[in-house]
Each structure stands twice: as structure tokens, then as C-alpha cells.
Amino acid sequence: MGRSTTSEDLLEDLRESVSAIFEQAQLSVANHKKNCVALYKIHTTAAAVTQPGKNGLKLVGEKAFQDVFLDMVSRVLVVKKGPVTADRIVKYVGAFVKFMNEKGEFLELWLRI
């Protein structure tokens, strides 16, 4: 994500960046904290992308992040219990939700959209 210079670039790179973090999270639970921090940085950067709307600012970056995040999670939900990689993703999502709660932003993220 380092090459993104505009809001459009950021949103275009969002799926790739989030996907890479989910891929890393499948490999080991040892890197979940690092990946929580990385995903949080992506989220805060995406959340800053807004557009003017009828009733104020439209949170286009926040919505894009939420769509990508939910897409990644939904891919795991169809996997039956057993594969270690799916179990690691479930643990990672739990760790990320906990991380966001500690930052006090998780509920705001999902309630604003």
C-alpha cells in the first residue's frame, strides 16, 4: 500500500492489501498482533476517504473497507470446521475485533455505515 498517493489509488489497493493480511493470518497465530496493527492502519487510512453528499460527507473509504473485510470473512464462513487455516482466520477476526474494541472504534465503524 506504500505506493498509493490518491484516494482512488488507496481504494483500488484496498482489496489487495486486506487480502494479503488475511493470507498472512492463515499461516500462523503468532503474527496476528502485527496483522491487527497493519489492518488497523489500513482501516484508518481508508476511513479518511470521503466524498461530499447530500447530507454531509459520504464515508466511501469506510464503506469500501467494510465491504472488503466482510468479503474476506464470508469466504471463511463457508469452510467446514477442520482446516487449520480457516480456524486461524476466525481467531484473527476475533483478535482484530478485540483490537478495534480496545481502540474504541469497532462499534463506530459498523454503526456509521
Residue 1 lies in a domain: no
What's the pLDDT score for residue 93?
A: 95
Q: Could you give the number of structural domains in the chain? A: 1
pTM: 0.80
86 domain-assigned: yes
Q: In the chain, count H helices and then E strands.
A: 5, 2
* Overall size of the chain counted in residues: 113
Structural domain boundaries, residue 105: 7-112
39 lies in a domain?
Answer: yes
Handedness of CA 25, 31, 36, 37 (dihedral sign): negative
**Tens digit of each residue's pLDDT (9 = 90 or more) over 50-92:** 888 888 888 899 999 999 999 999 988 887 777 888 899 999 9
